[in-house]
Amino acid sequence: MPPSLTARHPTTADPRPRTPKTWPLAAALTIALLAALTAAVSWGSTSIPPAEVWAVVGRRLSGEGVRPGTDDLIVWQLRVPRALLAALVGAGLGLVGTAVQALVRNPLADPYLLGISSGASLGAVGAIVLGAGAGGVLGIGLSGAAFAGALVTFALVWAVARRGGGFAPLRLVLAGVAVGQFLSGFTSYLVLQAGDEQQTHSVLFWLMGSLSGASWPLLAVPAAVVPAALLLLQARARALNALLMGDETAAGLGVDVVALRRELFVVTSVLTGVLVAVSGAIGFVGLMVPHACRLVVGGDHRRLLPVSALFGAVLLVVVDIVCRTALDTQELPVGVVTSLIGAPALLFLLDRRLGSGS
Amino acid sequence: MRVDIEDLDVAYAGRTVVSGVGLLAADGEIAGLVGPNGSGKSTVLRTVYRHLRPVAGRVLLDGTDLRELSPARAARHVAALPQERGGDFELTVREVVAMGRTPYKRAFAADDAGDRDTVARALAEVGMAEQSGRRFSALSGGERQRVLLARAFAQDPDVLVLDEPTNHLDVRHQVDLLALLRAARRTTLVSLHDLNAAASVCDRLHVLHAGSVVASGPPREVLTPALLADVFGVRAAVVEHPLTGDPLIAFDHREPVPQGHGANPAASGARSHSVEAGRPQGARSHSVEARRPRSQGSE
């Protein structure tokens, strides 16, 4: 006879507030995203009323034709692609952060931990300094170089992490950090070597993250990769949950751990490469978004993945509005603002969590 | 469901850790794996829940080779409670238990009423139903083990595999957990450090030493003073438990068996501090199946 056990364990207060229902939350975030996108297109050096924003978008989408005038051009050619790029990059960073944190089983891990972004940065900086980026600071040539850098780094980290077999979390992190630092050294050297002041400035600006290169053609790759990554990760949501408990637990639950790690590594690498290629190195979003979302919806990836993607999108759209409008004279790099907002927010969250007792 | 392990060789990081292991758990039986640290208990169990792939040998479930099943299908038969603790990821007790449904679900499939029912029953079975909304990482050690056992139950397995489930638990929580295991009435493979716990809850014991099975059989036949001296290097008397009648091992905690002296006569029960109703169990030799360990690894 098993003894009655409940009697000896008085029910203690749930340290986490009741998990909100997923669908209302997702709906609220979607509405917030639409509002943020509208605001992003509406606000700027030229203020355009939200109604006019949607009118332009409606005309463009219905193929009704273009009404001559600068508003149309500003909305459709400049601000809409930029707002959409912000949303895609934000969603991608939220996803990649969630995936890396499960991959290395550490809730404070960061996409940059795997070194991929350092490789992408090196590729991009190399392109700028060596002249391939002549057609504009964020031309396609630069994106291509960044992506190539990401892939080469990915292969390198992969090879180092694979030595001795398996994809142990610690080995991945160490390989990523070591390779990342190595490449960062090269990047710094290239920045110092940059010939003129203008070049140095554009390199540094890019390294701090920027969405100013947004254009319709630039949107194509992230618009395909980010939703694909969400679908793929969402399909593995249960396996990701199991992985949080440990490799042995996951194996016991019927998860092919080695194959899952390999998949996650590929997905996070490709995603990071794509994101860095279009937006530079934007820190803190990948770390903070999953962490914050976890505090609200809990650790179950079936909820966490879509919520992180949505929240990341909203966050980066809002941050980019700040970047464009905070200073009259120049734009702020996105990475500067995400760090300024992200670090205190993270400290606040940690403090609150420790305060709630565990 | 019956589990047979045949001629199992397992290498870890290029080193053979387990060789030629054969053992079994009959249908509905609790089979215990005991042995000193590093004897290969966990390694054997890890191959059963497919964390490790054996170099040679087979694990059979009612005669079917485990490796012929897909990972998910195997996990519907075998549920594991490994020794790992997991990270702090804001998972609730219910979410941890619901993981037990993983091998039954396709990609994108939500939990249905049947899953929720299974999870609720598993939580109730271990007495954690009222704690289901708590954060898993905020639980005490005893509560955690019960929740992990509930997760294994939610997997609706034919075979439970538990690696040192009573480690780090106080004695009351050990008794609670072992009582739950007995009440579950499933084929169980469990490694245990506490030989007295093993003697009272297991129907069958397999003693491992240096990566090999050196004795198998019912606890009272296997746990002899000579074996305890040989395998564990301790002096002990085996008497009858005054309350339960199970074999009770009274260790001499003052001095070990001298190195290199296998069957020390002094350790074979001659000097037992006799308990009133007890008499030393077993003869001087090991049970019928007892074998000397093969080559001695560095332990």
Residue A13: pLDDT band by 50, 70, 90 thresholds? very low
Q: Among the residues of chain B, which ranges form H helices?
A: 41-48, 71-77, 93-98, 113-125, 141-154, 171-184, 195-201, 219-222, 225-227
Give the C-alpha separation, B161 to B150, whole Å: 13
Residue A316 clears pLDDT 70, i.e. is over it:
yes
Q: How close A23 gets to chain B, by Cα (Å)?
A: 13
Q: Inter-chain contact B131–A11, Cβ cutoff 8 Å? A: yes
**What pLDDT does residue B270 have?**
34
Residue A355: pLDDT band by 50, 70, 90 thresholds? low
Which residues of A fall within a CB distance of 8 Å from B201? Answer: none
Q: How close B224 gets to chain A, by Cα (Å)?
A: 29
- Scan residues 72-131 of B and list those with Cβ closer than 8 Å to A: 72-76, 78-92, 95-96, 99-103, 105, 107-108, 110, 126-131
Is B186 inside any structural domain? yes
**What pLDDT does residue B227 have?**
94
Question: How many domains would you assign to chain A?
Answer: 1
Burial of A17 (0-12, 13-18, 19+ CB in 10 A): exposed
Give the C-alpha separation, A247 to B263, whole Å: 41
Residue B295 clears pLDDT 50, i.e. is over it:
no
Which residues of A fall within a CB distance of 8 Å from B143? Answer: 9
Question: How many domains would you assign to chain B?
Answer: 2
**What pLDDT does residue A307 have?**
96
Q: Inter-chain contact A358–B137, Cβ cutoff 8 Å? A: yes
**What pLDDT does residue B232 have?**
93
Q: Inter-chain contact B78–A255, Cβ cutoff 8 Å? A: no
Q: Inter-chain contact A254–B103, Cβ cutoff 8 Å? A: yes
Residue B239: pLDDT band by 50, 70, 90 thresholds? very high
Number of residues written out for chain B: 299
- For residue A33, how many other CB atoms are within 10 A of its CB? 21
Nearest to B90 among A238, A246, A295 (CB): A295
DSSP-derived pairing of the beta strands B204-209 and B30-34: parallel
Residue B44: pLDDT band by 50, 70, 90 thresholds? very high
Nearest CA in chain B to A101: B89
Is A16 inside any structural domain? no
Same domain, B21 and B123: yes
Q: Which residues face B32 on adjacent strands?
A: B190, B205
Nearest to B95 among A1, A249, A300 (CB): A300
- For residue B58, how many other CB atoms are within 10 A of its CB? 17
Which one, of B265, B179, B279, lies nearest residue B220 by Cα? B279
Same domain, B266 and B280: yes
pTM of the model: 0.84
Give the C-alpha separation, A151 to A117, whole Å: 10
Residue A345: pLDDT band by 50, 70, 90 thresholds? confident
- Scan residues 248-287 of B and list those with Cβ closer than 8 Å to A: none
Is B295 inside any structural domain? no
Q: How close A235 gets to chain B, by Cα (Å)?
A: 5
Is B299 inside any structural domain? no
Q: How close A294 gets to chain B, by Cα (Å)?
A: 7
Lowest mean pLDDT, pick from A14-23, A256-265, B267-276: B267-276
Same domain, B117 and B187: yes
Residue A221 clears pLDDT 70, i.e. is over it:
yes
More confident residue, B216 or A69: B216
Q: What is the ipTM of this complex?
A: 0.83
Residue B294 clears pLDDT 60, i.e. is over it:
no
Residues A224-283: tens digit of each pLDDT: 999 999 999 999 999 999 999 999 999 999 999 989 988 998 898 889 888 988 888 888
Which one, of A140, A233, A244, lies nearest residue B98 by Cα? A244
Give the C-alpha separation, B261 to B233, whole Å: 9
Tell me the DSSP string of A188-207. Answer: HHHHHH--SHHHHHHHHHHH
Helices (H) and strands (E) in chain A, counts: 15, 0
Give the C-alpha separation, B99 to B162, whole Å: 17
Dihedral angle, C-alpha B132, B135, B137, B140, nearest 10 °: -50
CA distances from A22 to A60, A301, B14, B132, B263 (A): 33, 12, 47, 18, 65
Structural contact between residues B209 and B227, judged by C-beta atoms closer than 8 angstroms: no
Which residues of A fall within a CB distance of 8 Å from B105? Answer: 238
Mean pLDDT score, A11-25: 59
Domain residue limits at A144 = 84-347
Burial of B244 (0-12, 13-18, 19+ CB in 10 A): exposed
Is A317 inside any structural domain? yes
- Which of B202, B217, B232 terminates a domain? The answer is B217
Residue B18 clears pLDDT 80, i.e. is over it:
yes
Give the C-alpha separation, B72 to B104, whole Å: 7
Average pLDDT in chain A: 83
DSSP-derived pairing of the beta strands B204-209 and B212-217: antiparallel
Q: In A322-356, which positions are buried (b, 16+ CB within 10 angstroms) versus exposed (e)?
A: ebbeeeeeeebbbbbbbbebbeebbeeeeeebeee
Residue B259: pLDDT band by 50, 70, 90 thresholds? low
Q: Inter-chain contact B99–A11, Cβ cutoff 8 Å? A: no
Residue A15 clears pLDDT 70, i.e. is over it:
no
Domain residue limits at B212 = 3-217
Burial of A51 (0-12, 13-18, 19+ CB in 10 A): exposed
Nearest to A252 among B49, B88, B95 (CB): B49
User: What is residue B37's DSSP assignment?
Assistant: T
CA distances from B48 to A12, B53, B225, B243 (A): 37, 9, 30, 35
Residue A336 clears pLDDT 80, i.e. is over it:
yes
Give the C-alpha separation, B227 to B257, whole Å: 12
Lowest mean pLDDT, pick from A20-29, A287-296, B3-12: A20-29
Residues A146-174: tens digit of each pLDDT: 878 888 888 888 788 777 555 677 787 88
- Which of B161, B193, B217 terminates a domain? The answer is B217
- For residue A15, how many other CB atoms are within 10 A of its CB? 16
Q: How close B138 gets to chain A, by Cα (Å)?
A: 5
Q: What is the CATH number of the domain that holds B154?
A: 3.40.50.300
DSSP-derived pairing of the beta strands B78-81 and B159-163: parallel
Q: What is the CATH number of the domain that holds A198?
A: 1.10.3470.10
Q: Inter-chain contact B91–A241, Cβ cutoff 8 Å? A: yes
Same domain, B237 and B182: no
Is B296 inside any structural domain? no
Q: Inter-chain contact B102–A16, Cβ cutoff 8 Å? A: no
- Which of B217, B241, B273 terminates a domain? The answer is B217
**What pLDDT does residue A287 have?**
87
Give the C-alpha separation, A96 to A145, whole Å: 21
User: What is residue A213's DSSP assignment?
Assistant: T
Is A184 inside any structural domain? yes
Residue B107 clears pLDDT 90, i.e. is over it:
no
Which one, of A134, A156, A180, A143, lies nearest residue A276 by Cα? A143
Which residues of A fall within a CB distance of 8 Å from B128? Answer: 5-6
Is B276 inside any structural domain? yes
Which residues of B fall within a CB distance of 8 Å from A9? Answer: 127, 130-131, 143
